[in-house]
Amino acid sequence: MKIFIDSADLSEIKKYMSWGLCDGVTTNPTICLQCGVTGGKKGIHARAEDIVKLISPHPLSLEVTTDDPEELLKEARAYAKLGENIAVKVTITDREGNSLLPVIHTLVSEGIRVNVTAITTFNQAILAAKTLESACRKASSIKFPHYVSIFAGRISEEQGVERAFKVIQDVRAWLDLYGYSNIEIIVGSVRSPENIEYWGRAGAHILTIPPSVIAKSLQGARTKETVAQFIEDSQKSLKKLR
């Protein structure tokens, strides 16, 4: 399982790269704002360029800011020019519920890596996967994986964690059954250490995790107590060994 750091903070990303925990990065305008990025779209582009260089060849998944098909195509193509390791995040539908699969098919056919996002059902995931697979064949080359992003946190809020687990599990089984080896499941809305355990066991290829949740996942009251005891015992033993 891969971990994508959900951030636009260069120092945080660099830290987790040095730990071997960063297999990619996901970000969006809201995260950029929280990380101190300014300058509108130009600022986002500039920060994206920095991240692309920092994590290459690992992917940066960058969210578009529109659901208008023509504007979306224009923005996605501009993002794709930032680097070969850019994946453009496109929602499965627009805000009215109209499918954006035609736009996604066009982008993938042009050789642009796409992360189909805001997926909350099994049906959405497999239809997105079909579109991605079809467009890959049209492009006549598979240079990198494409993604379906399942928002497990949102599914859990509405239908319970068991349902979210089942959606991830069933989508993974379906992809494996039909040999969609170039499409990977990203699970978003990871909000707690418990989510990491649960979604990881469900069969997700990738979890997007904010740095704050990674930090919490490394903590454990019993671990701190045990380490303190180890150090204390070691120091006592060293004194007796003199």
Q: What is the pLDDT along the chain (242 residues), one digit of tens a residue?
A: 999 999 999 999 999 999 999 999 999 999 999 999 999 989 999 999 999 999 999 999 999 999 999 999 999 999 999 998 999 999 999 999 999 999 999 999 999 999 999 999 999 999 999 999 999 988 765 678 999 999 999 999 999 999 999 999 999 999 999 999 999 999 987 889 999 999 999 999 999 999 999 999 998 878 888 998 999 989 989 888 87
Residues 6+ apart with CB under 8 A from 30: none
Catalytic residue among 81, 89, 166, 224: 89
Sign of the CA dihedral running 185, 136, 47, 50 = positive
Domains with residue ranges and CATH for the chain: 2-241 (3.20.20.70)
| Residue-level pLDDT at 137 | 86
* Other Cβ atoms within 10 Å of 103 Cβ, number: 22
Phi and psi torsions of 181, nearest 5°: -75, -15
Phi and psi torsions of 26, nearest 5°: -120, 145
Answer whether 135's CB lies under 8 Å from 104's CB: yes
Residues 6+ apart with CB under 8 A from 210: 5, 6, 7, 190
* Other Cβ atoms within 10 Å of 8 Cβ, number: 27
| Residue-level pLDDT at 63 | 94
89 is catalytic: yes
- pTM of the full predicted structure? 0.93
State how far the alpha carbon of 169 is from the alpha carbons of 83, 164, 202, in Å.
Answer: 32, 9, 5
CB-side neighbour CA atoms (13 Å) of 206 = 25
Distance, CA of 8 to CA of 218 (rounded, Å): 21
